[in-house]
Chains A and B, each alone.
Chain A
Amino acid sequence: MHWYWIDRFTIFESGTRAQAIKAISRGEDHLSDHFHYHPVMPASLMIEGLAQTAGLLIHETHHFQKKVVLGKIPKFHIYNTELVPGDTLIYDASIEYIADDGSMASVQVHRKDELIADGTLVFAHLGQGFMNKKLFNEGELEDLVRVYGMYDIGVQKDGTPIVDPEN
Chain B
Amino acid sequence: MATKEEILNGVKTVLVDALAVDEEEVTPEATLVDDLGAESIDILDIIFNLEKTFGIKIDRGELIPEDLLTNQQYVQDGKLTAAGLDMLRERLPNADIDTFAKNPMVQNITKILTVNDMCYIVESKLNAN
Bound together, the chains give a CA A101 to CA B60 distance in angstroms of 9
Contacts A74-B17, A74-B18; is A97 near B41 (CB within 8 Å)? no
Chain B at the A interface: SS class: helix
Bound together, the chains give a CA A76 to CA B42 distance in angstroms of 16
Q: Which of A52-104 touch B at CB < 8 Å?
A: 71-72, 74-75, 96-97, 99, 101-102, 104
A122 adjacent to B60 (CB under 8 Å): no
What total of chain A residues lie within 8 Å of the partner, measured CB to CB? 12
A155 within 8 Å of B by Cβ?
no
In the complex, chain B residues whose CB is within 8 Å of the CB of A124: 40-41, 44
Chain A at the B interface: SS class: strand
B51 adjacent to A97 (CB under 8 Å): yes
B48 within 8 Å of A by Cβ?
yes
**Smallest beta-carbon distance B124→chain A, Å:** 19
In the complex, chain B residues whose CB is within 8 Å of the CB of A71: 41, 44
Q: Which of B42, B52, B60 contacts A99 (CB 8 A)?
A: B60
A104 adjacent to B45 (CB under 8 Å): yes
In the complex, chain B residues whose CB is within 8 Å of the CB of A72: 41-42, 44-45
Q: How many A-B residue pairs have CB under 8 A?
A: 32
**Smallest beta-carbon distance A42→chain B, Å:** 23
Q: Which of B5-58 touch A at CB < 8 Å?
A: 17-18, 40-42, 44-45, 48, 51-52
Max chain A C-beta neighbours (<10 A), residue from B18, B42, B45, B52: B45
In the complex, chain A residues whose CB is within 8 Å of the CB of B60: 99, 101
Bound together, the chains give a CA A92 to CA B124 distance in angstroms of 36
Max chain A C-beta neighbours (<10 A), residue from B18, B44, B60: B44
**Smallest beta-carbon distance B27→chain A, Å:** 22
Bound together, the chains give a CA A97 to CA B49 distance in angstroms of 10
Q: Which of A96-150 touch B at CB < 8 Å?
A: 96-97, 99, 101-102, 104, 122, 124
In the complex, chain A residues whose CB is within 8 Å of the CB of B18: 74
A101 adjacent to B48 (CB under 8 Å): no
In the complex, 20 of the A-B residue pairs with CB atoms within 8 angstroms, ordered by the A residue number, are A71-B41, A72-B41, A72-B44, A72-B45, A74-B18, A74-B45, A75-B17, A97-B48, A97-B51, A97-B52, A99-B44, A99-B60, A101-B44, A101-B60, A102-B41, A104-B48, A122-B44, A122-B45, A122-B48, A124-B41
Nearest 10 A/B pairs, CB to CB: A102-B44, A71-B41, A72-B41, A97-B48, A104-B48, A122-B45, A74-B45, A124-B41, A122-B44, A72-B45
Binding site for B on A (CB under 8 A): 71-72, 74-75, 96-97, 99, 101-102, 104, 122, 124
